[in-house]
Structure 1
Amino acid sequence: MKYLNQIELARHHWAELREASGIADNIPSAILELLKSSRPDEAENAYWKIENHVVVQGQLFESAEYVVPVLLTSLLQKQQKWVKISILELLFQIVSGEPHEEEISKGNRDLGERCREKAREGLWILYQEMMFGERYAAKDVLEVIEKDPHRLSSILMAFDS
């Protein structure tokens, strides 16, 4: 059986997308490595194969936009705690980012907003994670992407009571 994240990974031509080191053809295998990690150190190694490539010190590359839905759909599967935290940290880094100057020169001025919009498509996945999973890591992402801060505060208050 294929999972949604595998289908999402297969939908894109990663060799045609950019990342910090050039083409993004290694990103799918890095994501799968992260998802299959059986120990925290394995997850950390895989994390850095993504984080220093699609987003580097807050600067986004083209492939980041395509990574967001893969990460979101990965939250729908049962994952080890360290995997979920890595997924949410990657999402946070991406949605907090802005385009690298190379992306701006290629006409991708709105890359940061497009990444945030992709993340908003999974808003309720993140709310579910905040309520029943890795609360603080999911909340960090929601604080960046949620356009209705009243909704976020209402859900937090209801959950805390």
Structure 2
Amino acid sequence: MRLVELEIALCNWADIQCGCGRSAEHLATELLRAAEGEPYGLVSALDGHAWSAPVLFPPAVAVASVCLAALSGDIPAQARVEFLDLLLWLVSGDGTDFGSAAEGLDLPLLCQQRAREGLWLLYDEVASGRSVEAAGSAFEILSVVESDRERLHKVRDHAGDLLPWHCQNGLCDEEPEPS
């Protein structure tokens, strides 16, 4: 069993209220399909379920965990980009749905904390040379969650052409606002 399958299986999706109003059980299928490389936009597929700009919904933290698990494995290149893009949306969220906020949850902060658990996966993506697009998304996630700005800047400087132009030139790694 791959780690992404294990992470999906460990979550009790039926107990999580989806942004669409149903249980989040159907998200497990979407995430697994994406990890297997089925071609479709994962970010769009989860819009209204885990996130809807700029608000995150209750499945967001579990989805962030699945993103990291997927990135730890050997998944198709396009799936890797889609999981990185989805994780970027989750760590960049500005708000929490009303129900979760009433429970005292800060979903963007929880997603950022979860992404910090996978810092080395993200640094590996930047340094791997697999894809400039994937490296850029990973670097943008790091720019949100990495507290060691000196390390982030050194990685940017050393990565060079492995990163897209806007990341090479520091346009995506300004100091984040405190959360």
Task: Answer yes or no: same fold by TM over 0.5.
Answer: yes
Unaligned runs of 5+ in 2: 162-179
- For 1:62 and 1:49, the matched residues in 2 are separated by 16
Tell me by how many angstroms 1:160 deviates.
2.7
Instruction: Report the counterpart of residue 99 of structure 2 in structure 1.
Output: 102
What is the number of residues matched between the two proteins? 155
Distance change (3 Å), C-alpha of 1:102 and 1:149: same
- For 2:29 and 2:120, the matched residues in 1 are separated by 27
Establish whether residue 20 from structure 1 lines up as the match of residue 19 from structure 2.
yes
Instruction: Report the counterpart of residue 45 of structure 2 in structure 1.
Output: 49
- For 2:78 and 2:47, the matched residues in 1 are separated by 15
Contact 2:19 2:48 (C-alpha < 8 Å) held by counterparts: yes
Instruction: Report the counterpart of residue 125 of structure 2 in structure 1.
Output: 129
Superimposed CA distance per residue, residues 20-41 of structure 1 (whole angstroms, 9 cap, x where no aligned partner):
1122111110001111234xxx
Q: Which has the higher helix share?
A: 1
Bigger relative contact order (CA 8 A; separation at least 6): 1
Q: Which residue identity lines up with residue 123 of structure 2 in the other structure?
A: Y
Superimposed CA distance per residue, residues 88-134 of structure 1 (whole angstroms, 9 cap, x where no aligned partner):
110000001121223212332x2211110000000000000011132
Tell me by how many angstroms 1:159 deviates.
2.7
Q: Which residue identity lines up with residue 115 of structure 2 in the other structure?
A: A
Contact 2:87 2:141 (C-alpha < 8 Å) held by counterparts: yes
SS in 2 for 1:20: coil
- For 1:43 and 1:147, the matched residues in 2 are separated by 33
Superimposed CA distance per residue, residues 138-159 of structure 1 (whole angstroms, 9 cap, x where no aligned partner):
1111111111111111112123
Following superposition of structure 1 onto structure 2, how do residues 5-154 of structure 1 map, counting pairs within 5 Å? Answer: 5-22=4-21, 23-38=23-38, 42-44=39-41, 46-97=42-93, 98-108=95-105, 110-132=106-128, 133=130, 134-154=134-154
Superimposed CA distance per residue, residues 69-103 of structure 1 (whole angstroms, 9 cap, x where no aligned partner):
21111112222222111111100000011212232
SS in 2 for 1:43: coil
- For 2:10 and 2:35, the matched residues in 1 are separated by 18
TM-score (norm 2): 0.80
Q: Give the CA RMSD over aligned residues.
A: 1.6
Q: Which residue identity lines up with residue 37 of structure 1 in the other structure?
A: G
Identity %: 27
- For 1:50 and 1:104, the matched residues in 2 are separated by 20
SS in 1 for 2:62: helix
Unaligned runs of 5+ in 1: none
Structure 1 residue ranges (4+ consecutive) displaced by more than 3 angstroms after TM superposition? none
- Name whichever of 96-105 and 6-15 sits farther off: 96-105
